[in-house]
A and B are shown apart, each in its own frame.
Chain A
Amino acid sequence: MTIDPLVEPLTDQLAGLAATAPTGFADSVFAHWLEVDGPVGPLYVAFTDRGINYVCPTAWVDDDRDQFLEYYRARFGRPLRPGTRAPAGLAGALRSGRGTGLDYDLRSVGGFDQAVLAKTLEIPRGEVRPYAWVAREIGHPRAVRAAGSALGRNPVPILIPCHRVVRSDGATGNYGFGPQLKIDLLHVEEVNLDETRQLGRRGIHYLASDTTGVFCFPSCAHARRITTSHRVELANVSAAVQAGCRACRHCRPA
């Protein structure tokens, strides 16, 4: 660095205020991506220095990497480069179906949508909840359709398990990557899908135990433990209350 002898001390001092960007600054600009094995086929996963911010089944883009990269860059307006190491815990989360321990970067997601996604993250593997449940749990019981739309925009599907949110009548409902993938995912997770749908067709949406007096959603782990002889089928919450039952604290059907 050459110093002009005529430069006065003040400008020298000002030059001394120049700073260098923190080490690893580029990582806060660029996102990284890689391909990993998912529960029903490979996935493209993109992540920033704050966490995972996009997931897409490779089949959804015909295994075309460039289509995925282009879509990501357009949607997030962020440059993307190949990653070398997967975010900590990703493989384990995909194996166990528990995405709760991962870091997500949901800066592109609005407040209502974030609440919907955070609630959905609580639904355990092997169980499903109605759209109306998500809406009620986040304090907007009338925003059922809005909750559905928010789930449709979920940037990190499978990890935040929007496939575990279904229609109140027992049908699995729609999915961003097509309804069949949703059914496949729920089958892999051993949800009692056929039973739930059959019950739904008969107008049964809750199950209770006559020994404990607790009622659940049919997919709740506690409902599935009830032996046939003690199982009570219920059409709605008021029927459950009339029968003297209280809501399960695990699946919170009411």
Chain B
Amino acid sequence: MTINIAIIVKLEPDFSEGNVSYNSDGTLNRAETKNTLGPHSTIAARAAFYAKVKYDARVSIGTMGPPIAESALQMAQRICDAEELHLYSDRIFAGADTLATAEVLKTGIQKMQGKIDIVFSGHRASDGETGQTGPQTAWKLGYTFFGNVTDYEVNVQNRTIRVKRLVSLQGFNDIIEEVDAPLPVFISIDPSYKPVFNTISKRLAYEKYEKEAKIRSDNYKQYLRVFNVQQLGVDPILVGLPGSPTIVYKVERIPKGKANRKAEVFDGSNPEHIKKAVAKMREALAAMVIK
């Protein structure tokens, strides 16, 4: 007996130096910036690989995007040794907000082989940053949702899962909450997640699947299925722009705030200035101690 895992991933701008390009006003130059598997999608793929190693799980990956988004599937497959890749790609899907995106992903996950026991998503996309798509897909699937998950263990026999999740709230200490739930569940994985492979059997399985993942991802097209709106069988009214309640009405530069402090400017190449600056800093720190 094993479990079926799905991951939803996203192709995102690559913010690493040399790949990212900014306009002179500090905004992202999307045309010049390369794309890659999102960093949070990468972590979700690692969480899925843990299930592959530990429970011999079957892994499927889904993404919505233009044809080039298949590279995100390949990169994620390289990490988690998936045996099924889904690309949901249709011009109709373009311009979707999170509700319309969740509709596509939900329908896609329901089309994966085997009934999915756990869906993993990243914490949030590094370009959109809403963090809404995961929980919205979960609700549409009718799966219990857990956010900010830092660790998980599955009881394969009982079909239950135990997760640890990080709860950070303004003005409170961070809390680690441990929760037990029946499968299926939807997990959005916390950025701090780190899988541990500390037994010999796990290390052996790790090496085996690691090799397999490389071979599979080199031949990823064999595992790839592309779905357009008809093939996915989703109602066109519920996806893309028609299915999106929200629109981006305008984009403007955030006005530069008025000066809240009057900065004293020091020239860093002038030793006298450095001396004065340090004296001020020390004064500030000393004054505080008395308080």
Are A and B bound to each other? no
**Chain B contacts to A: CB under 8 angstroms:** none
**Chain A contacts to B: CB under 8 angstroms:** none
